[in-house]
Amino acid sequence: MFTFLIFMLNTQHVCGLNAVFKPLALLCLFFSVPVFAQDTVLLHNIEVTAKKTELSQLGKKYEPIDSSIKQQFRFNSVADVLSFNTPVFVKSYGPGGVSTTAFRGGNASQTAVLWNGFNIQNSMLGQADLALLPSVLFETIDVEYGGSSSVFGSGAVGGSIHLNNKTPFNAGLITTTNFGGGSFGMKNASTRILFGKKRFVSSTKVYGMYSENNFKYNDRKNTEVIERTQKNAGYTFYGLMQEVKFLISARQMLTVNAWLNSNKRRLPAFDPLAESKTWQLDEAMRFTSSWNYVQTKFKSVVRAAFFSDIINYTDSLIPLFSKSKVNTIVAENENYFDWSGCHQLNVGVNVSSSSGITNNYSGTKSQNRISFLAGNKFSYFRNRLLAYLSGRLDYFSTGKLPVTGNASLEYSIVKGLNVKINLARVYRQPTLNNLYWQPGGNPDLKAEQGFTQEGEINYKQQSGNFLVYVSGAAYSRKIDNWILWVPGPNGNPSPMNVQKVWSRGTETTWKLSYKKKKLTCAFGLVSGYVLATVESQSQENAGTLKKQLIYTPRYTINGNVSLGYGSLTLIYFHQYLGYRFTASDNSAWLDPYHLSSVRANFNLSIKQLGLNLFFACNNLLSKDYVILASRSMPLRNYEFGISIQTKNNN
C-alpha cells in the first residue's frame, strides 16, 4: 500500500514543489508506520473546531453530500460533485479547466471555500478553483446556502462549501488505494493510509492525475456540423495531504495538517483550428494547526494557518510570462461558554495578513485584517427552538467596515417538520488584484455589502422501510457597490463599484428511499430558480437595468435514480441547465441543455480486504452542449476504476 507514495518520491516532477514534496512525503511515511501509545486515557469528543460551522448553519439550508453519492464521485473533483448533486451552478471551462461557483446569483468571489474551517480562497483572485480539489481528499463535503459573513468574514455572501477531514482515533491501520482511467487518456491514482490509536492518529493521502484531454465534439458554428477534436488541453495534477492528531489528555488535543498540490494544465485557444502554447501552473502549500481544550461548560480552540499560492501563466506565442505569488497567515481564537442552562456564548478574534507579488504590481502589496466576533446561541423547549445572534467587527488595512451580523431561528414544529429563518448583513472586501493590478487597479474601491433574508421548511420521516425528505427554501439578497471590471483609460479595464444587484429565488429538494434486506431504491431531485437583476448602475447607456446577470441560469434541475441489490449499485443522473445570458443587456445567450450519465459500483469484502469496482458513462446520449461560450464539452465518454482497502484493527 506504500507503492504509490514511493512512486511519488521517485518521480521527476515538473514544478518547484518537488523539493518540499520529498521530505514531507518521507515524514508522512514515517507517521504512517504503526506507533503504539499508552492506553491510559478514555477518549472524549473534544474537537471544537466544528463549533463555528455548527453555529453558521443554524437557521439556514445546509446540505451534506450523501456518503453513497460521494463514493460515486471519488475519482472526480469537488466541482463535479456539486454540479450533479446541488442547485449550485458550476462555471466550468471543460475537463481539467477552471471551475468556479455561482451561488444564488452571486459570483465565485462571493463563495467561501473552507477546508476544516479555514477559507482557502486565493487572496489575489478572491476565489478558489474547484477543479483543483479532488473529492477523494475529504471525508465530508457540505454545502451551506446563504450569507455567513458574521462567522466566516469576507466572501461568505452567497454560500459556503465546507471540505472536512474526519480521522477517528483507535481505528487501527486502514489503507485505501484507488486506480482509475478513462477516455482522453485519463489516468489517476490515490492512496490513503490511516493509522489510529487511542492517543494518536495519522492520515496520509497522496494523489495524482494525468490526461491528454483531446476529446471530440461537434462544431455547430456553421450550418454544417463538423466533428472536431479539442487539442492543447492536457493537464497533470498531483499532491499530498497529511493530518496528525495527538490526544494530549482527556481535555486537550493537538492537530496538525499539511496539504501540498501542483497542477499544470495547457489552455486551449478559443479558435479550435489555432495552435495554443499557453500553460498555467497552480501550486499551493497549506499548513494548519489547532489546539482544542474542553471542560464541562467551556470550550476553546486556538488555530493558525499558513497558505502559499503560486500561479504562473505562460504564452510563448505572444510572448507572455506572468508570475504571481500570495502568502496568507491566519491566527484565531474561539471560546464557547455554556451558561444559564440554555445559552451558549461564543467570542473570538481573528488576525490575518495576505501579501501578494506579481509583475503586474508595483512591488509587494498587502492586506491585513483583525476581526472580533461575539454571538449567543439560545436553546428552548428541549432544543425544539434554537436561535443564534452574532455580530462581527472587521478592521482592514484598506478600510474600515461597518459591523456585520446575523439573526437565525430554527423551530421543530412536530417531529420531523422544521422551519428555519436567517437574516444577515454580508460583505466582500476587494481583492488584491482589484486594488493594485496595473494597469487598471482601483485602490479607492468600496466593499460589496448588503442584506440577505432566507427561510427553509423541511420534512423528514422514516416509515418502515421508506424514508422521505422534502425541503423548500426561498431567499432574497441585495448587494450594493457590486464590483465590475469596466473599460478604463487607454482601453485598460478597471474595477468599479457600479451596480446594485438583487438576487432572489427558490430551491426545492425531494428524496425518497426504500430499503429491505439486500434491496435499496432511491430517488432524488433538487431544483433551483434564480432571478439576479441589476437594480441600479452608474454606467450610462449600459442597458443592464432589470437584466439578468450574465452566466446566471434561471433554472437548474438535478435528479438521480439509484437501484442497489447486495453489492451492486447503479445510479442514473440527469441534469438540466437553463438559458445563460452572455451579454449584459441579455441580447445573447447560450441554449439550455439536458445531460445524463450512469455510474455503477460493485463492492466485495473478503475478511479484512475490501474491493470496489467503479464504472461511469458520462454524457450518455452524446449531446452537444457548452457551459461557457466558446468552451466545448466532450461527447460520450467513460471512466472506470478500482479501490482496494485493507483493515487491521490490531
Residue 203 CB neighbours (<10 A): 25
Res 14: pLDDT? 38
Instruction: Tell me the pLDDT of the chain averaged across its residues.
Output: 88
The number of angstroms, rounded, from the C-alpha of 632 to the middle of its chain's C-alpha atoms is 24
Res 488: pLDDT? 77
Residue 354 has pLDDT above 50, yes or no: yes
Res 477: pLDDT? 97
Cell 414544529 -> residue: 413
Length of the chain: 650
CA-wise closest residue to 78 among 86, 374, 385: 86
Q: Which long-range contacts (CB under 8 A, 24 or more apart) does 416-419 make?
A: 416/459, 416/460, 416/461, 417/457, 417/458, 417/459, 418/457, 418/458, 418/459, 419/455, 419/456, 419/457
Residue 100 has pLDDT above 70, yes or no: yes
Integer angstrom CA distances of residue 546 from 536, 537, 556, 586:
8, 10, 21, 10
For 423-479, write each residue's pLDDT tens digit. 999 999 999 999 999 988 999 999 999 999 999 999 999 999 999 999 999 999 999
For 355-375, write each residue's pLDDT tens digit. 999 999 999 999 999 999 999
Res 13: pLDDT? 41
CA–CA distance, 445 with 430 (Å, rounded to integer):
7
Res 302: pLDDT? 96
What is the bridge-based pairing of β-strands 568-577 and 320-339? unpaired
What is the bridge-based pairing of β-strands 111-115 and 159-164? parallel
Res 221: pLDDT? 65
Q: Read off the pLDDT of each residue in 121-125 and give the average, rounded to a whole number.
A: 94
Going by pLDDT thresholds of 50, 70 and 90, the confidence category of residue 388 is very high
Cell readout for 315 is 504564452
For 418-439, write each residue's pLDDT tens digit. 999 999 999 999 999 999 999 8
Going by pLDDT thresholds of 50, 70 and 90, the confidence category of residue 237 is very high
Q: Read off the pLDDT of each residue in 189-200 and give the average, rounded to a whole number.
A: 95
DSSP state of 170: T
Q: Are the C-beta atoms of residues 569 and 600 closer than 8 Å to each other?
A: yes
Q: Are the C-beta atoms of residues 59 and 421 closer than 8 Å to each other?
A: yes
Res 172: pLDDT? 93
Res 212: pLDDT? 93
Residue 36 has pLDDT above 90, yes or no: no
For 612-648, write each residue's pLDDT tens digit. 999 999 999 999 999 998 888 999 999 999 999 999 8
For 531-585, write each residue's pLDDT tens digit. 999 999 887 767 889 999 999 999 999 999 999 999 999 999 999 999 999 999 9
Cell readout for 649 is 484493527
Going by pLDDT thresholds of 50, 70 and 90, the confidence category of residue 45 is low
Residue 27 has pLDDT above 50, yes or no: no
Count of alpha carbons within 13 Å of 520, Cβ hemisphere only?
Answer: 11
Going by pLDDT thresholds of 50, 70 and 90, the confidence category of residue 46 is low
For 298-313, write each residue's pLDDT tens digit. 999 999 999 999 999 9
Res 284: pLDDT? 96
What residues contact residue 536 under an 8 Å CB cut-off, 6+ apart?
Answer: 499, 500, 545
Res 403: pLDDT? 83
Res 319: pLDDT? 82
Residue 286 has pLDDT above 60, yes or no: yes
How is domain 3-222+275-648 classified at the CATH fold level? Maltoporin; Chain A (2.40.170)
Peptide bond into 319 cis (omega under 30): yes
Q: Are the C-beta atoms of residues 80 and 637 closer than 8 Å to each other?
A: no
Res 12: pLDDT? 40
Res 1: pLDDT? 39
Res 32: pLDDT? 36
Res 211: pLDDT? 94
Lowest mean pLDDT among 2-6, 51-55, 584-588: 2-6
Residue 29 has pLDDT above 70, yes or no: no
Q: Give the burial class of 483: count Cβ atoms within 10 A of its Cβ; 0-12 exposed, 13-18 middle, 19 or more buried.
A: buried
Which amino acid, 237? F
Residue 293 has pLDDT above 80, yes or no: yes
CA-wise closest residue to 104 among 478, 409, 391, 405: 478
Going by pLDDT thresholds of 50, 70 and 90, the confidence category of residue 400 is low
Q: What percent of the chain has pLDDT over 70?
A: 91
